[in-house]
Amino acid sequence: MAEIPARLRPMVDEVRGAVESDRTVAVQGRSTGRLLAHEITGRVPDVTVRAPGGVIDFQPDEMIVRCGAGTDLDDLRAVLAERGQRVDLPGSGTVGGAVARGWSDVHRLGRGPVRDAVLEALVVDHRGRLVRAGGPTVKNVTGFDLVRVMVGALGTLGFFGEFVLRTRPRPLDARWFVIDDVDRRRVDELQRRLFRPSSLLWDGSRLWVHLEGHPLDIDEATTSLGARPSDLPALPSYRWSMTPNDALEAVVASHGVAEVGVGVVHRDRPDPSRPIPAVDVHRRLDAEFNPRHLLNPHIVRFGDRAASHA
Amino acid sequence: MSRSPVASLDERLAHEIGIERVRTGTVETTLYSHDASSMSGSTSLVCFPESTEHVQSIVRACRDHRRSFVVRGAGTGLAGGATPLDDAVVVSVIRMNRILSVDPVNRRAWVEPGVLNLDLTRGVSDHDPLFGLHFAPDPSSQQSCTIGGNVGNNSGGPHCLAEGVTTSHVLGVEVVLTDGTVVMLGGDESDHAGLDLRGAMVGSEGMFGVVTKICVRLTQNPPCVETMLFDYVDVADGAATVSAVIAAGMVPAALEMMDRLCIRAVEDYVQAGLPTDAGAVLLVEVTGSRHQVAHDTERIIEIARSHRCRTVRRAESEAERALLWKGRKTAFGAVARIKPNYYLHDTVVPRRRLPEVLEQIYRIVADHDLLVLNVFHAGDGNLHPLIVFDKREPGVMDRVHAAGELIVRASVAAGGVLSGEHGIGLEKRDYMPLMFDDDDLAAQAALRRAFDPLDLANPHKVLPSPSSCGDAAHVTDGMWI
């Protein structure tokens, strides 16, 4: 095992102490996220640990930041904003929580999914050892992409201790607009006509548009569209995943707000559990990375979930 | 006709997928015994499947015969990733080359793995009459390399600075796992049910299964493009320009640099009007909407001038832009004019450390009585030191290897990584412990076991093991970075 940074030592020791005495252990952030009914087991962990928080090293000219997984996202945003940058992670909890959940926010169309923001992770594994996955540079194909598998794994494959995240410059300007009386055909037309909007939201009649860039470009793009300034609309609290075309159909059929071009629909009831592909691969990943289900026992491992559908 | 249970592997495959798709002759087996690297292996069987079902038949037959297999696209890889070891069956997907569907509104396409990178962009461009569409990853081999190969290597290219590498442009993959089952990982839906196994497949160097269909994300072409060339007396000033541009809040579409020896070789080769007395040139491309491009261009020129840039050349036409890029993308064709052989490395260092690592590279190479050219993705800190030599010189290969190892070590010591875009394959497999300890490597091995518990898909690559390593020999013609 590599030398463990002092800041991660307490977390590593706590996890190792738990698993070596056959106790279950969970990692906790700020508990701002939501777990769905099919994701929870009902078991209560014996021990709870927290990842360290705080920005360790921000390098604006490299567009990377190293921070503890327990870092408060709002604190991180404030540090990055001082140098005109941002990180594309949603929510108001911890960095580790946002990455473990893996859900993007409404800007995914332009800014990409959460998984693209993570370059390197230091992960505490099921034996209480620290594992490095990925690397600290934006371009890196050194070995297999373990980080990607852990994003969205809800801590069932290991606990995030620290990250290197990709940062981005903040745009010169960013504004929301809304266009009224937009039917399905007009949604398609506007998707083709707008250059790289960061978000398009449609509720069946109104289309909200978020544009980022030079203020004059934003003015030019919106003047001929009948768009008026707006705020981000209030969204129903559950997000459903489907194809982009199905998302538009779903909004027409039964309300909700669709992320156009992405395939997320925001609705007021939870997304039902969907079948998981490659059941055997998921089960083997459980067996390799959380064999006794001592890590996050309150969350259903993905192999178990896949098997329950099979 | 029933199949004999004792049929040989090639007989079984000829029966199941057609004899015209199975080759055992010396010409094919020799041709497919290596990729574009200098490392050769051997095979006695090469297959050319044309469907997922064919791939399934091949994988099942290999499983039953306990023969490993190596999937390959165009074989442009430079790290020996597609070199067959232990008489592995070579599975060439080059005939699976159809663009299956294009959705120009949601900007995605389903393609087979043998589609060439540039053919994909050509095939989808006209589907969006207003902006045009393209597939963003653009390795310099893009006219020859396949999308399947790009997925296997998580390929990059000059424009990945702003757009991201292949994993950001692959929404889903259909995969034949080594047990012969076909699974869909990711796809048209926004979020995967289950873990991001799609993400694991991308960059797995053919060691997790065979990708048979790919859902790619397409990118709108920018309405405005500005291409500039700056030249410097000192390469450090060029590198400092790069860092200053990024720190000022701009991410150009590309930031590419060439050093003195490379400039001279390229100018001899393509006559692009490059300043042959310069220590370095920096090629900068800014893309986007009109006002943003104008704003960034002006600021970047200011920053370059403040870093002792001697001249600013702005491409005035598409033809001039193409010429500047031709100089960059065909740099390696120019090398043969200096020495008959070359060995190319691919490491990444933090941008701010580019000048000092370049200095180290010059010193290492001089100490080993060799020559080096540098042409690289400066914006990403992705170095491509190109050691040129004549392998007929006695002992030269030992010096090439020794210098190469020191370059890799210097890059990792500077906080970098072993490979930015070429992959690990065989070439850098034994360097992996420079970056990862035993626990890190064990976790990667566990990921692979989860996909391929039988160890049939391209074994002996990426993860270090006691088995033999390839050796650099004559570099094949037509190499790109």
What number is the ipTM of this complex? 0.97
The pLDDT of residue B39 is 87
The pLDDT of residue B37 is 86
Which of B106, B382, B419 is closest, CB to CB, to A261?
B106
Query: Given a cut of 70, is residue A310 above it in pLDDT?
Result: no
Q: What is the pLDDT of chain B when averaged over all its residues? A: 92
State which residue of chain A sits closest to B248, comparing Cα positions. A61
Which has the higher per-residue pLDDT, A34 or B435?
A: B435
Residue pLDDT, tens place only, A188-228:
999 999 999 999 999 999 999 999 999 999 999 998 888 99
> Cβ separation of A217 and B416 shorter than 8 Å?
no
d(CA B14, CA B9): 9
The pLDDT of residue B119 is 98
State which residue of chain B sits closest to A189, comparing Cα positions. B105
> Cβ separation of B417 and A274 shorter than 8 Å?
no
CB contacts under 8 A, B 55-74 vs A, are none
A176 pLDDT band (50/70/90 cuts)? very high
Residue pLDDT, tens place only, A229-241:
999 999 998 999 9
The pLDDT of residue A20 is 98
d(CA B197, CA B194): 8
The pLDDT of residue A1 is 53
The pLDDT of residue A45 is 98
The pLDDT of residue B480 is 38
Secondary structure, 3-state, chain B = CCCCCCCCHHHHHHHHHCHHHEECCHHHHHHCCECCCCCECCCCCEECCCCHHHHHHHHHHHHHHCCCEEEECCCCCCCCCCCCCCCCEEEECCCCCCEEEEECCCCEEEECCCCEHHHHHHHHHHHCCCCCEECCCCCCCCCCCEHHHHHHHCCCCCCHHHHCCHHHHEEEEEEECCCCCEEEEECCCCCCCCCCHHHHHCCCCCCCCEEEEEEEECEECCCEEEEEEEEECCHHHHHHHHHHHHHCCCCCCEEEEEEHHHHHHHHHHHCCCCCCCCCEEEEEEEEECHHHHHHHHHHHHHHHHHCCCCEEEECCCHHHHHHHHHHHHCHHHCHHHCCCEEEECCEECCHHHHHHHHHHHHHHHHHCCCEEEEEEEHHHCEECEEEEECCCCCCHHHHHHHHHHHHHHHHHHCCCECCCCCCCCCCCHHHHHHCCCHHHHHHHHHHHHHHCCCCCECCCCCCCCCCCCCCCCCCCCCCCC
d(CA B232, CA B36): 33
Chain A hits for B440, Cβ within 8 Å: 2, 131-133
> Cβ separation of B380 and A151 shorter than 8 Å?
no
Residue from A88, A99, A139, A199 to probe the interface with B (highest B Cβ count within 10 Å): A139
> Cβ separation of A59 and B350 shorter than 8 Å?
yes
A299: left (phi over 0), alpha (psi -120 to 50) or beta: beta
The pLDDT of residue A283 is 97
B421 touching A (Cβ < 8 Å): yes
Distance from CA of B28 to the nearest CA of A (A): 30
What distance, in Å, lies between the first and last C-alpha atoms of chain A?
37
Distance from CA of A9 to the nearest CA of B (A): 16
Burial A140-160 (b: 16+ CB within 10 A, else e): bbbbbbbbbbbbbbbbbbbbb
Query: Given a cut of 90, is residue A2 above it in pLDDT?
Result: no
- pTM of the predicted structure, to 2 decimals: 0.95
CA B111 to chain centre: 19
The pLDDT of residue B244 is 95
Distance from CA of A180 to the nearest CA of B (A): 20
Residues in chain B predicted with pLDDT less than 70, given as ranges, are 1-6, 466-481
